[in-house]
Each structure stands twice: as structure tokens, then as C-alpha cells.
């Protein structure tokens, strides 16, 4: 039976990166040697991931991040996009009609303008090289292609990853993507949102998204949502991110007084499910102020089985930190595996299906409408205990906020070291069931069943359902550190 192989907490003199692919982590680390900082590293890493993990992220998707400056100020960057002018709410569940304006390129460009040290072109060089010179395709990527082959054959004919001769280790070249990345590096976001590329995106989706919609796109830059839990300060992405659920659930957990492991697990699950009942409301103006400390209806002795969260394994994460004290928590995504499955052949990338996460209720603030950004699963977080400040980020759709709650509780309540917290057995609520890793404390599981939870035991090491979390931060001595979850082939590099 697969078992856990805990990974160490790594420390680096200049900076550290932890992310979803070792080649991307190497691209980020190289920026420190050139005089870059944590933001440079995160941007170079994200650009490389757009090539290496197109099932999870890419230029056709989104990027949400938190940046903690050397002085301690935290800035939230929302690189998600809105529904197009000609959106048809009856056709947003899949395919071209599910595509929102991609915010990835603009978010990286705007973060570069605000925080980076190195030239933008330098940060895109590794991604250009990987796309043009070729990158070795892994088994997980080929597995994702197999899972979505029907969708891709319909929406992405000619896509390089559909080559039936590909095997693990085969080199894949995407020259159109290399050319676009090079143009973005030289000219910035206008190379993507204006001119030929904007018109190519419009053609790819059949005009449900117009070139004018891309030209009108802006990145939202604002302060984060702040919270606290057991003496730890917390910053999360503000709406339209559903990261707001994290402080909501932690507030309920701390207020419950639960201290024993079974009590904490039960209250955490119930708090998550109760908070998810408000998910679509996160798109409302003023949602942060209204929901942040809203009381959640939780029975400390009985599971409500109200559901709310769904399953999903897409997305990838980037965390970085440098010796100046800058820390970055970042998530990038095309939503479902390969997003909508719609290829923009002129750019070699697939487009997101972010509108498929909207509400089907016309009265909902999360109903698809022109210019409206849908509620977003991407939930980067930063935590400080007064000595260390560190980023936490994980893929997993609605599982992101659930993993964050468990990690923060383990660190703040039990004093668990970050790398050990990443390895703890986890649960995940989905479709009114409670999935649990089968090495979870059997006494706790017995108590959860007694309280009415519908448990589904999952063998260790067989799925990424429970998240593949990464962390990077700065300790009290000013030394950067990083750690990665052993649930996947992710990497922490110093």
C-alpha cells in the first residue's frame, strides 16, 4: 500500500520557490541568481507552468495572487475575467460558451509593473524555451489528455498533445505558444488583449467573447481580506474569490471552543458546508463585510450533510519568498482539465471554462451576465504567527479552502511544523459525502461516523483529491523557506 514520504523544509539564502512542476521551479529559482526577487520568481514560474501544465493552467486562464512586501503590506491581485458581451447563459456549462475573458496574462504583466525587478522579457525566457525547444511530457499530463480527449478532439483539432504517438518523456513543441510568450515578454499584455490575438480568441469561441471584451479587461488590485485564528494573522484573496470561506470557517471553529481532534474535524466540516451555502453571494457588492463574521448554523453533535462543495482536481499553485521578506502566494488555472477544451491555434493555448461555475438562477449575483466576473475557486492565502510569514496554496477547486482550513488549524492549534502539516491525513467534503484518506486517525473517523458523516475512505497516494499544497515563507531570522506536499510530483527548490 502506498505510504507517505514526508519532504523536508528547505531553506535558501536568497530565495525559494515551491510549485507544481520541478522544471518550473527551476525557472523561478534562476531569477534569484540574476538579481530578481520573490515576485520575479513567481512570474517566471507561472509562465513556465503555462507551458508544462496546460491541463491545469495557461494563457487562456486566470491568475490570482497575494504579494507581501518587504515592509509587510499585503496586496491582492485578481487576474480573473468577466463574461463577454454576447454571453448566452443557457450555453455556459461547457464548450465555447463557457469561456470568460482570460486574466492570466494581464495579471502577470500588472504584477511585474508593480513589484518585479527584472525585465519582463527575462522572466518569460524559460517559458519561451520550453514551448519552442520542447518539454518532456509526463504521465499525469498524458493521463489528463486521455480523460479529456473527446472534448479536445472536438474543440482543439491539431493540438500537439493529441498526438497518439506521445509517451512519457516524449518532447512536445508548441511553436505558436512560444511565439506568443515571446511577444508578451517584449510588449506586455497588449500582445494578448489587442490586435491579431484578440481577434483569434474571438474566432475560437464563435463570437460569444468579443475582441472588445478583451481590450476592456482590467486586473483588480486591492487590499486582501484579513482574519485571525488562534493568534495567527491571516490574509486571503478578496471576492470574487471564494477564499472568504476560509476565515468564515476558522472564525466558527475558534468560536466553537472545539479542542479535541474529532470535535475540530466535525466542526470544520460543518463550518465549510455551512459557509458554502453562501458561495454565490460572494459575487454581491459588500459580501466581504456581510459574510466575514456571519454566524454559521452548526450542530456540534450531528452532521447536517447539507453538501455544497463539489469535486475537482484542476489548477496549480506557486509560492515564493526572498531574503528581503517578500512572500507570494499564487494560484493559476483554466478551471476544468484543459478548461473549455477550445484551442486558439494562433497562440497554442486552450481557453478556460470559468463560466461553468456560475449559478443557474437568474436572480443570483453569480448568474452569467456581460461584464460580470464569476465567483472564483482560486484561494491563495498568507499566514503569520508574528515570527514567520508564509504562503499556503493548493489546487483542488472547492477543496482549496478545505485544505487551507485543515493546514492552518494544524499549524495554529497543534503547533505543527509546516512541512509536517502538509503531510497530515486530510478530509474533503464533496457532494454531501466526506472523503477521507485511509490513514486518518481511526478513532476520529469512528466519531465522525457516529455523528452522521457519510465517510468514503480513499487509499493513500491514489488521488490528488485532498490537494497538493505548497508553502514558502520567511522566518524570524530573515531566511526564506519552502515545502511541498508529497501527494504529487511537486517541487520546493532553494
236-271 confidence digits (pLDDT tens): 999 999 999 999 999 999 999 999 999 999 999 999
Taking alpha carbons only, the member of 218, 52, 217, 72 closest to residue 138 is 52
Using left for φ > 0, alpha for ψ between -120 and 50, and beta otherwise, residue 92 falls in alpha
Q: Length of the chain in residues, anyone?
A: 494
pLDDT at 464: 80
pLDDT band at residue 3 using 50, 70 and 90 as cut-offs:
low
Question: How large is the angle between the packed helices 399-414 and 245-256, nearest 10 degrees?
Answer: 40
Q: What is the DSSP letter of 89?
A: G
457-469 tens-digit pLDDT:
999 878 888 999 9
Dihedral (CA of 28, 34, 37, 40) sign: negative
307 burial class (0-12, 13-18, 19+ CB within 10 angstroms)? Answer: middle
Question: Distance (Å, rounded) from C-alpha 480 to C-alpha 470?
Answer: 14
Asked if 319 and 307 touch (Cβ cutoff 8 Å), the reply is: no
- Pairwise pLDDT comparison (218 vs 396), residue with the higher score: 218
The mean per-residue pLDDT over the stretch 65-89 comes to 97
Q: pLDDT tens digits for 154-202?
A: 999 999 999 999 999 999 999 999 999 999 999 999 999 999 999 999 9
Determine contact, residues 225/401, Cβ cutoff 8 Å: no
Whole-model pTM over 0.95? yes
Q: pLDDT above 70 covers what percent of the chain?
A: 98
| Grid coordinates belonging to 260 | 479535541
- How high is the pLDDT of residue 1? 39
**Is the per-residue pLDDT at 494 higher than 80?**
no
Distances (CA, A) of 420 to 4, 416, 470, 484, 485: 11, 6, 12, 10, 9
pLDDT at 279 over 70: yes
Q: Is the pLDDT of residue 341 over 90?
A: yes
Distances in Å between the Cα of 253 and the Cα atoms of 229, 264, 309, 371, 397 are 9, 7, 18, 36, 22
Report the alpha-carbon angle 410-53-214, nearest 5: 105
pLDDT tens per residue across span 209-225: 999 999 999 999 999 99
Q: Are 225 and 243 in contact (CB under 8 A)?
A: yes
Helix (H) or strand (E) holding 269: helix 261-276
pLDDT tens-digit series, residues 106-119: 999 999 999 999 99
Strands (E), 203-324: 220-222, 225-229, 232-236, 316-322
User: Among candidates 298, 228, 198, which has minimal Cα distance to 256?
Assistant: 298
Average pLDDT, the chain: 95
d(CA 177, CA 304): 48
Say whether pLDDT at 5 is over 90.
no
- Which of 393, 386, 377, 250 is closest to 321 using CA atoms? 393
Distance CA 231, CA 415 (A): 11
Q: Which whole number is the average pLDDT over 366-393?
A: 96
* Residue 323 and residue 68 in contact, taking contact as beta carbons nearer than 8 Å: no
Indicate the pLDDT class of residue 8, thresholds 50, 70 and 90.
confident
**CA 134: distance to chain centroid?**
25
Amino acid at each position: 500500500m502506498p505510504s507517505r514520504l514526508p519532504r523536508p523544509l528547505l531553506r535558501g539564502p536568497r530565495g525559494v520557490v515551491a510549485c507544481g512542476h520541478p522544471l518550473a521551479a527551476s525557472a523561478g529559482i534562476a531569477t534569484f541568481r540574476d538579481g530578481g526577487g520573490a515576485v520575479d520568481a513567481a512570474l517566471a514560474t507561472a509562465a513556465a507552468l503555462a507551458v508544462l501544465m496546460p491541463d491545469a493552467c495557461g494563457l487562456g486562464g486566470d491568475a490570482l495572487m497575494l504579494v507581501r512586501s518587504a515592509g509587510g503590506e499585503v496586496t491582492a491581485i485578481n487576474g480573473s475575467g468577466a463574461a463577454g458581451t454576447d454571453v448566452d447563459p443557457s450555453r455556459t456549462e461547457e464548450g465555447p460558451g463557457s469561456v470568460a475573458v482570460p486574466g492570466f496574462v494581464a495579471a502577470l504583466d500588472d504584477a511585474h509593473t508593480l513589484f518585479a525587478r527584472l525585465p519582463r522579457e527575462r522572466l518569460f525566457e524559460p517559458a519561451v524555451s520550453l514551448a519552442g525547444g520542447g518539454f518532456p511530457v509526463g504521465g499525469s499530463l498524458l493521463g489528463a489528455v486521455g480523460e479529456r480527449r473527446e472534448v479536445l478532439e472536438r474543440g482543439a483539432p491539431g493540438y500537439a498533445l493529441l498526438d497518439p504517438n506521445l509517451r512519457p518523456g516524449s518532447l512536445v513543441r508548441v511553436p505558436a505558444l512560444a511565439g506568443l510568450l515571446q511577444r508578451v515578454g517584449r510588449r506586455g499584455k497588449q500582445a494578448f488583449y489587442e490586435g491579431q490575438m484578440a481577434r483569434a480568441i474571438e474566432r475560437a469561441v464563435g463570437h460569444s467573447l468579443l475582441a472588445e471584451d478583451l481590450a476592456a479587461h482590467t486586473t483588480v488590485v486591492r487590499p486582501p481580506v484579513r482574519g485571525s485564528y488562534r493568534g495567527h494573522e491571516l490574509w486571503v484573496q478578496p471576492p470574487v474569490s471564494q477564499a472568504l470561506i476560509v476565515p468564515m470557517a476558522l472564525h466558527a471553529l475558534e468560536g466553537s471552543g472545539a479542542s479535541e481532534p474529532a470535535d475540530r474535524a466535525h466542526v470544520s466540516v460543518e463550518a465549510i458546508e455551512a459557509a458554502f451555502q453562501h458561495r454565490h453571494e460572494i459575487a454581491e457588492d459588500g459580501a466581504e463585510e456581510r459574510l466575514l463574521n456571519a454566524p454559521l448554523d452548526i450542530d456540534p453533535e450531528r452532521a447536517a450533510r447539507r453538501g455544497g462543495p463539489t469535486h475537482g482536481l484542476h489548477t496549480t499553485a506557486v509560492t515564493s519568498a526572498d531574503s528581503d521578506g517578500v512572500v507570494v502566494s499564487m494560484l493559476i488555472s483554466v478551471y476544468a482539465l484543459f478548461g473549455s477544451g477550445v484551442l486558439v491555434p494562433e497562440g497554442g493555448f486552450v481557453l478556460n471554462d470559468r463560466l461553468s461555475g456560475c449559478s443557474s438562477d437568474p436572480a443570483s449575483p453569480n448568474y452569467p451576465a456581460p461584464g460580470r466576473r464569476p465567483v472564483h475557486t482560486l484561494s491563495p492565502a498568507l499566514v503569520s504567527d508574528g515570527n514567520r510569514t508564509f504562503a499556503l496554496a493548493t489546487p483542488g477547486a472547492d477543496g482549496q479552502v478545505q485544505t487551507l482550513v485543515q493546514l492552518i488549524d494544524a499549524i495554529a492549534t497543534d503547533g505543527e511544523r509546516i512541512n509536517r502539516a502538509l503531510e497530515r491525513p486530510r478530509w474533503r467534503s464533496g457532494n454531501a459525502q466526506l472523503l477521507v484518506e485511509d490513514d486518518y486517525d481511526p478513532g476520529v473517523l469512528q466519531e465522525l461516523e457516529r455523528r452522521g458523516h457519510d465517510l468514503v475512505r480513499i487509499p493513500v497516494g491514489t488521488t490528488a483529491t485532498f490537494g497538493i499544497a505548497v508553502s514558502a515563507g520567511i522566518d524570524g531570522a530573515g531566511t526564506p523557506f519552502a515545502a511541498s506536499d508529497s501527494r504529487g510530483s511537486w517541487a520546493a527548490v532553494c
